[in-house]
Amino acid sequence: MEPVTFSPVGVVHSPHKELAGMPVQPPAAAGFTGEIELLPEYAEGLLDIEGFSHLMVFYHLHKSAGPLLSATPFLDTKPHGVFASRIPRRPNPLGFSVVRLLSREGCVLKIGNVDILDGTPVLDVKPYVAEFDAYPDAASGWFSGKLGGISEKRSDDRFL
């Protein structure tokens, strides 16, 4: 298939400077704050974003070591296909996180619950809208019951 080209619109600034030891998903990142700094030419796209409490940030997993088709995720002990997991090493290294929006100043969004590596290129920002993005009765497949202890869970070096 024809490749598609992304042009980053900004960058994440975060306290996570190394891949190992990071919170593995936003619920494990409570208390970690950071920023999305948009390139000035995209600042107009932020008009009215302040009214949202949460955002979906889409980014390039730029330090991903190359694609896998299956692996054992941080939150499990047996392998799964990468489309059934949030493993960063995937055919297209695209990540997304639901973060808290704390404030906006010009091109800079201050965010909370940050589980993103410092320097990560930002591809898109969307407002989190519970009516679209959440299923109260969602089925979480193999992941059901694996959330225990997630707030303390940190990445290791298995995908490096």
Q: What is the H or E stretch that residue 130 is in?
A: helix 130-133
Should residue 130 be labelled a site residue for another protein when binding is judged by CB under 8 A? yes
Q: How many residues bind another protein (CB under 8 A)?
A: 69
Site for another protein in 27-66 (CB under 8 A): 27, 39, 42, 44-54, 56, 58, 60
Should residue 110 be labelled a site residue for another protein when binding is judged by CB under 8 A? no
CB within 8 A of 4, min separation 6: which ones? none
**Cβ of residue 17: shortest distance to another protein, in angstroms?**
19
Q: What is the 3-state secondary structure (H, E, C) of 59-93?
A: EECCCCCCCCCEECCCCCCCCEEHHHCCCCCCCCC
Should residue 102 be labelled a site residue for another protein when binding is judged by CB under 8 A? no
Give whichever of 19 and 68 is closer to another protein, judged by the CB atom: 68
Residue 118 token pair: 């410092």
**Cβ of residue 70: shortest distance to another protein, in angstroms?**
6
Should residue 138 be labelled a site residue for another protein when binding is judged by CB under 8 A? yes
Q: What is the three-class DSSP state of 26?
A: helix
Contact status, residue 52 vs residue 90, Cβ threshold 8 Å: no
C-alpha 153/C-alpha 34 separation (Å) is: 19
| Binding-site ranges for another protein (CB under 8 A) | 1-9, 11, 25-27, 39, 42, 44-54, 56, 58, 60, 69-70, 80-86, 90-92, 94, 96, 98, 100, 113, 121, 123-135, 138-144, 147, 150
